[in-house]
Amino acid sequence: MPPPPALLVCLLLLAVPRPGEAAATPTRPLLFSLRARQVPAGALPRPASKLRFHHNVSLTVSLAVGTPPQNVTMVLDTGSELSWLLCAPGGGGRGASSFRPRASRTFASVPCGSPQCRSRDLPSPPACDGASRQCRVSLSYADGSSSDGALATEVFTVGQGPPLRAAFGCMATAFDTSPDGVVTAGLLGMNRGALSFVSQASTRRFSYCISDRDDAGVLLLGHSDLPFLPLNYTPLYQPSLPLPYFDRVAYSVQLLGIRVGGKPLPIPASVLAPDHTGAGQTMVDSGTQFTFLLGDAYSALKSEFLKQTKPVLPALNDPSFAFQEAFDTCFRVPQGRAPPARLPAVTLLFNGAEMTVAGDRLLYKVPGERRGGDGVWCLTFGNSDVVPITAYVIGHHHQMNVWVEYDLERGRVGLAPIRCDVASERLGLML
């Protein structure tokens, strides 16, 4: 059965112009405001997602694509490489949910002989269409969904920077349009692969702060010193040799341990590190909602969290129930009430940095699920083994009110807890 409908949250990025900036090699960072918006259940389509739990929450960025420019809304995903747009088959379509290549003077298909068509960074390498001699791409995901189309190049405009020509997937099949106007036309790949938007735009540093409510957050593309942020850095992890199950273009860090309420979990270091095949890496991913742990680590977290919350929070005790199939550490809370404010924080320990999940980021109310007069709330850590994926994934729900910086120049990720509205004010955004 599909997971129950969930509250849909869409974070909309609105460009704040900065005169004289360049998209490809900016001399000044591109600064955006990031707003949180709640959308009624069912308002967004289910996208072709790389994981089955990536269906109900998206971070979206609005860009202008083509000549004359067409405004599109794309999911911002640090866990994917190739950007793609749902392309209208003809060019006469007017829906905001698709890009019209025939209406653009700067659209160009990528031929089979192009170096871009020989990319090996993608999970499935591009293929050549023998009849048209055009490069074709197919993206398949763990939930069984897929997107198929042609590799192309087009002009992308971010803010008021000069246009940037970049390769992307012009997809013939993807997901349906939304009747509520909050529509995504595709995905903006932001990982470290050669065909990602980050790489093609020569962006060596970007960062964001995701708000937990309708306050202003921030997206920053490019280099900028932020003296008011006490960033702690953890190095990006890369094995010395290629491994079959290690995603080498992901933002991977080293997970060293987990604490619950200040108590270290008895998890062997070997469980938290990639094995000889590369399975078990830890990825920071804006395209995933919650955080996922491999089975042994998840079991340890579940046991300790249930133990520490037993006096104040009754467990659901329903072995047949799991929210979105992977979240089975659930509790009963009287309808109309919130869970207790004082719950044991969960801290993820990295090499040089840590991330603490506390307060209302620990539990998520399952929409429409009741037990008598109680609502059902689940811990926002899921079991990777039942998705299934062979990695630890840190989703954007646990990145809320944390400044997250991706520094490719020095090969590191920076973390600093801060309220997003405070960060916006310090950066001088008028919101």
Distance CA 413, CA 233 (A): 5
Cα torsion 356, 360, 363, 367: sign: negative
Identified catalytic residue from 77, 247, 328, 421: 77
CB 391 within 8 A of CB 281: yes
Q: Which helix (H) or strand (E) holds 283?
A: strand 281-284
Q: What residue has token string 């997250």? A: 404
Specify the DSSP class assigned to residue 163. Answer: P
SS (H, E, C) 372-411: CCEEEEEECEEEHHHCCCCEEEECHHHHECEEEEEECCCC
Identified catalytic residue from 180, 212, 215, 285: 285
CB 34 within 8 A of CB 228: no
Distance CA 339, CA 365 (A): 10
Specify the DSSP class assigned to residue 53. Answer: T
CB 139 within 8 A of CB 48: yes
Residue 47, preceding bond cis, omega within 30 degrees?
Answer: no
Residue type, position 353, single letter: A
Strands (E), 111-245: 127-129, 134-140, 146-157, 164-173, 186-189, 205-209, 216-221, 232-235
Distance CA 55, CA 293 (A): 19
Annotation says 121 is catalytic = no
* 422 φ/ψ angles, rounded to the nearest 5 degrees: -65, -45
Give the residue among 141, 77, 151 at the shortest CA–CA distance from 107: 151
Residue type, position 254, single letter: Q
Q: What residue has token string 């106007």? A: 181
Residue type, position 115, single letter: P
Annotation says 77 is catalytic = yes
Specify the DSSP class assigned to residue 101. Answer: G
Two structure tokens written together for 410:
């020095």
Two structure tokens written together for 32:
């955006």
- What are the residue numbers of the active site? 77, 285
